[in-house]
Chain A
Amino acid sequence: MLSRAARPALRAGAQSAARPATLNATNAATYATLREIEGRLKSIRNIEKITKTMKIVASTKLTRAQRAMTESRKYGQTSNLVFEKAETKPIEGEGKKTLIVVCSSDKGLCGGIHSGMSRKTRAILAEKPDIDLVVLGEKCKAQLGRSNGKNMQLSFAGIGKDVPTFADAQAIADQIALLPTDYASVQIIYNKFINATSYDATIIEAYSEEAILNSPNFAAFEIDDEVLANLREYSLANSLFWALAEGHACEQSARRNAMDNASKNAGDMITRFQILFNRTRQAVITGELVEIITGAAASEE
């Protein structure tokens, strides 16, 4: 291989050598030496390996997450059936505080699912700036903490390592119930799993006792007043569990897609660099041959 000192000669040789002008992509790269290209190839190969492994890990986790999601969705919907039948509506009015719970997770590298939720939250906050926020997961915490730090009440970390358990949801619901302010409505924002490639930031309502009491069809149920507080806490935990499980499934499937795309891109780059590498090597060889032949021809005379 030529030393660095020989590069200008190589460059001139490579440009004047019989290289067709069709190599538009490689024009700018003629300056790269073989060693530089080799280094980049190696690093891209390593990246491809990593993204491929992450994709496989995400795929295995996804099946489990999806099973947990379908179960928890059924669970959450059944729990909300009471409010549907009672036709419960959130109370709107002056002086009623609203709390938004954003269900994201701690880990990134999964496309735009976290920022999608942050955007939805910001859109709601832009309309009603006095809403309080509880954020689950580091990702949305970082995003919303920067723009809406004043609204933040609580943040939770450690979510998304594994399939969320009901114990997680209960502990969070407890901590929310302990907040000093009494919220007229609690809205949980989570990523709704539509199919493997699309998600939508959606809201589940968790109603306050007042809202449950005021629901038009409330008389259809026999509920003691004292039990109502329990129902509220329990349904908050149920909804949180639902949102966490569905968000988790979305995250895994988004990560799988993101890693799939990353591996594909890395594969493309590898083929491009491989071609470039081969061409450059050819050019170097041609250049050397030209030099040798000219030298031989000159010394013959």
Chain B
Amino acid sequence: MTFAWKTAGLTYNRFLAVASRTVRRSLKEDMRVAAERRGEMDLRFAKWENGKQGENKNLGEANAASFVSHAEKS
């Protein structure tokens, strides 16, 4: 059994995030606002090499970009 999203290069967590975002967006207006606040994510991250901190990047964008490149490879 292979999953369509797996072949597209998504991880399970990414798949879940996309699915839950879709569910949240299809809720009724009043509940949607409250639900979408639970889906907010505003993190930054940095890679470290040899004891030096790299550049600070937005996590959401970086994640999306890495999946795009992942999908192109496979």
Contacts and interface: CB of A to CB of B under 8 A. Distances in A.
Nearest to B58: A158
Contacts of B41: 165, 167-168, 170-171
Interface in B22-74: 38-48, 50-53, 56, 59-60, 62-63, 66
Interface in A123-180: 141, 145, 149-150, 152-159, 161, 165-168, 170-175, 177-178
A156 B13 contact: no
Interface in A177-193: 177-178
Contacts of A53: none
B63 A175 contact: yes
B4 interface: no
Interface residues of A, number: 32
Interface in A187-211: none
B16 interface: yes
Contacts of B40: 165, 167
Contacts of A171: 13, 17, 41, 43, 59-60, 63
A234 interface: yes
B11 A177 contact: yes
Contacts of B14: 170, 174
A175 B45 contact: yes
Size range of the interface on B? 20 to 34
Q: Which residue, of A141, A153, A167, A233, has the highest number of chain B Cβ atoms within 10 A?
A: A167
A178 B41 CA distance: 18
Given A170-B13, A234-B16, A237-B13, A158 B1 contact: no
A290 interface: no
Nearest to A233: B12
B50 A150 contact: yes
A173 B13 contact: yes
Nearest to B21: A167
Nearest to A170: B13
B63 to A, nearest CB: 6
Nearest to A163: B38
Contacts of A60: none
Interface of B: 1-2, 6, 11-14, 16-17, 38-48, 50-53, 56, 59-60, 62-63, 66
22 contacts: A141-B53, A145-B53, A149-B51, A154-B46, A155-B46, A156-B44, A156-B45, A156-B59, A157-B45, A158-B44, A165-B41, A167-B39, A170-B14, A171-B41, A171-B43, A172-B43, A173-B13, A174-B13, A175-B63, A230-B12, A233-B12, A234-B13
- Which are the 7 A-B pairs with shortest beta-carbon distances? A149-B51, A152-B48, A230-B12, A167-B41, A170-B13, A158-B43, A233-B12
